[in-house]
């Protein structure tokens, strides 16, 4: 049975492969194999369909631990397992077939940068979507598209273009290898496109209350809150990774003039204590709110808009605290933290964190 605990030997393998993953621009083969062996990409897929249907707080803790081992690994598992959650909103027959796919991996984009033209009892999908994390591993792509009829967008009750989500097999998708970010290099978050690909209506779904096909609390947890907590936990994990390495590096350094051990300087001691303490406090509050929201969801109670906002705000606060803690220690690490080589673990952790915080949801004022 899957748990929210990352085994020490699994974390060690991921760390050993991190440099190779970044060097090749995608997760190394041993890491991919481990991901599939552990079933992490099925962690949020319905148990009735062959998934683990892991309790959300356990999954979030696992994702944080994976990112603490390697940012690209944690981010890829998080985004692809998150797309696997969508199978709880598909017809059981379609979902069962997808989850049963050997080495299944769902990935895609939430941006509505394409169109779905109504074609009889199905749709024709066309468009181009950026930042599909795990693209080389992906067996099924998900995307949002504007619904059109006879070339004109259909409007919802608010007068805005109607948007639906879709899932298509990877064989129908064209991948453009154009991921060139400074961090999260091995996520291979490339662009993909479709050109008038026809899909059955069953391949369309909606991530709204009441649309879930599964009864479990995981599929009735608010989608936006789920997105916030999973992404924020990744950034927290990356910060924990950086801080652990920074402590070791700073402990070996001496002041360039006085030759006094850097870690003995009062201002350095304060920095080493302050950031990690504040991050620990932010993490404690974050997990308290997440656990409470999950408990309510398990009781069939929706926490309400105010509680959703509080959880999302705590997610952003944790991200901001993580970034500040890392950036306060960064100048104390010397050029080791600025090394662009793939085998510089601390520099890779810094690049990963600062790339992850560029995600649109992680804007400080977005919740």
- From first to last of its 367 residues, what are the pLDDT tens digits of the chain? 788 899 999 999 999 999 999 999 999 999 999 999 999 999 999 999 999 999 999 999 999 999 999 999 999 999 999 999 999 999 999 999 999 999 999 999 999 999 999 999 999 999 999 999 999 999 999 999 999 999 999 999 999 999 999 999 999 999 999 999 999 999 999 999 999 999 999 999 999 878 999 999 999 999 999 999 999 999 999 999 999 999 999 999 999 999 999 999 999 999 999 999 999 999 999 999 999 999 999 999 887 889 999 999 999 999 999 999 999 999 999 999 999 999 999 999 999 999 999 999 998 765 5
Nearest Cα residue to 79 out of 262, 285, 270, 234: 234
Hunting for tokens 């974390």 — which residue is that? Answer: 11
Alpha-carbon distance values, 220 to 61, 145, 164 (Å): 20, 23, 18
Residue given tokens 């941006």 in the structure block: 111
- Residue 255: both structure tokens together: 């002041």
Distance CA 172, CA 334 (A): 47
Mind giving me the DSSP string for 321-364? HHHHHHHHHGGGGGGGGG--STT-HHHHHHHHHHHHTTSGGG-T
CB within 8 Å of 188: residues ≥ 6 apart: 25, 26, 27, 133, 134, 135, 136, 137, 177, 179
Look at the block and give the residue holding tokens 């932010």.
282
SS3 340: coil
pLDDT at 208: 87
Domains of the chain and CATH, by start = 8-99 (1.10.540.10), 109-177+190-205 (2.40.110.10), 221-362 (1.20.140.10)
Q: 168-205: buried (b, 16+ CB within 10 Å) or exposed (e) per residue? A: bebeebebeeebeeebbbbbbbbbbbbeebebeeebbb
Phi, psi for 60 (deg, rounded to 5): -65, -40
- pLDDT of the residue at 367: 52
Residue 70 CA to residue 16 CA, distance in Å, equals 9
Asked whether the beta carbons of 218 and 53 are under 8 A apart, the reply is yes
Q: How far is CA 323 from CA 55, 212, 318, 355, in A?
A: 27, 35, 9, 11
Cα within 13 Å of Cα(51), Cβ side: 33
- DSSP class per residue in 30-88: HHHHHHHHHTGGGTTS-GGGT-----HHHHHHHHHHHHHH-HHHHHHHHHHHHHHHGGG
Which of helix, strand or coil describes residue 186? helix
Tokens matching residue 141: 């792509």
Interatomic CA distance for residues 310 and 289, integer angstroms: 8
Task: Report pLDDT for 304.
Answer: 84
- CB-neighbour burial class of residue 312 (10 A; exposed 0-12, middle 13-18, buried 19+): buried
**C-beta of residue 342 within 8 angstroms of C-beta of residue 256:** no
Question: Residue 41 has which token pair?
Answer: 């990409």
Task: For residue 117, give the 3-state DSSP assignment.
Answer: strand
Report yes or no: 128 and 111 within 8 Å, Cβ to Cβ: no
């Amino acid at each position: 049975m899957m748990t929210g605990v990352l085994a020490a030997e699994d974390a060690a393998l991921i760390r050993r492969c991190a440099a190779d993953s970044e060097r090749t621009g995608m997760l190394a083969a041993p890491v991919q194999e481990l991901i599939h062996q552990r079933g992490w990409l099925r962690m949020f897929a319905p148990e009735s369909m062959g998934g683990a249907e892991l309790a959300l707080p356990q999954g979030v803790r696992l994702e944080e631990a994976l990112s603490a081992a390697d940012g690209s690994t944690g981010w890829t598992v998080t985004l692809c397992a998150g797309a696997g959650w969508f199978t709880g909103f598909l017809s059981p027959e379609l979902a069962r077939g997808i989850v049963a796919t050997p080495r299944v991996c769902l990935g895609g984009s939430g941006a509505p940068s394409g169109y779905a033209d109504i074609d009889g009892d199905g749709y024709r999908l066309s468009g181009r979507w950026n930042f599909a994390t795990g693209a080389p591993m992906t067996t099924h792509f998900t995307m949002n598209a504007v619904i059109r009829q006879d070339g004109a967008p259909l409007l919802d009750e608010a007068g805005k273009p109607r948007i639906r989500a879709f899932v298509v097999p990877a064989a129908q998708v064209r991948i453009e290898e154009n991921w060139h970010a400074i961090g999260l290099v091995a996520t291979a978050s490339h662009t993909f496109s479709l050109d008038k690909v026809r899909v059955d209506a069953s391949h369309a779904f909606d991530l709204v209350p009441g649309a879930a096909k599964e009864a479990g609390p995981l599929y009735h947890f608010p989608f936006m809150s789920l997105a916030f907590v999973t992404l924020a936990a990744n950034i927290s994990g990356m910060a924990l990774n950086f801080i652990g390495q920074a402590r070791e590096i700073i402990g070996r350094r001496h002041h360039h003039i006085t030759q006094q051990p850097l870690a003995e300087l009062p201002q350095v001691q304060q920095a080493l204590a302050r950031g990690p303490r504040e991050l620990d406090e932010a993490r404690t509050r974050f997990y308290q709110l997440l656990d409470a929201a999950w408990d309510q969801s398990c009781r069939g109670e929706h926490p309400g808009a105010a509680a959703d906002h509080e959880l999302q705000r705590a997610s952003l606060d944790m991200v901001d605290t993580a970034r500040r803690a890392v950036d306060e220690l960064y100048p104390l690490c010397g050029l080791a933290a600025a090394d662009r080589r793939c085998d510089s673990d601390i520099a890779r952790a810094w690049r990963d964190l600062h790339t992850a915080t560029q995600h649109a949801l992680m804007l400080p004022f977005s919740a």
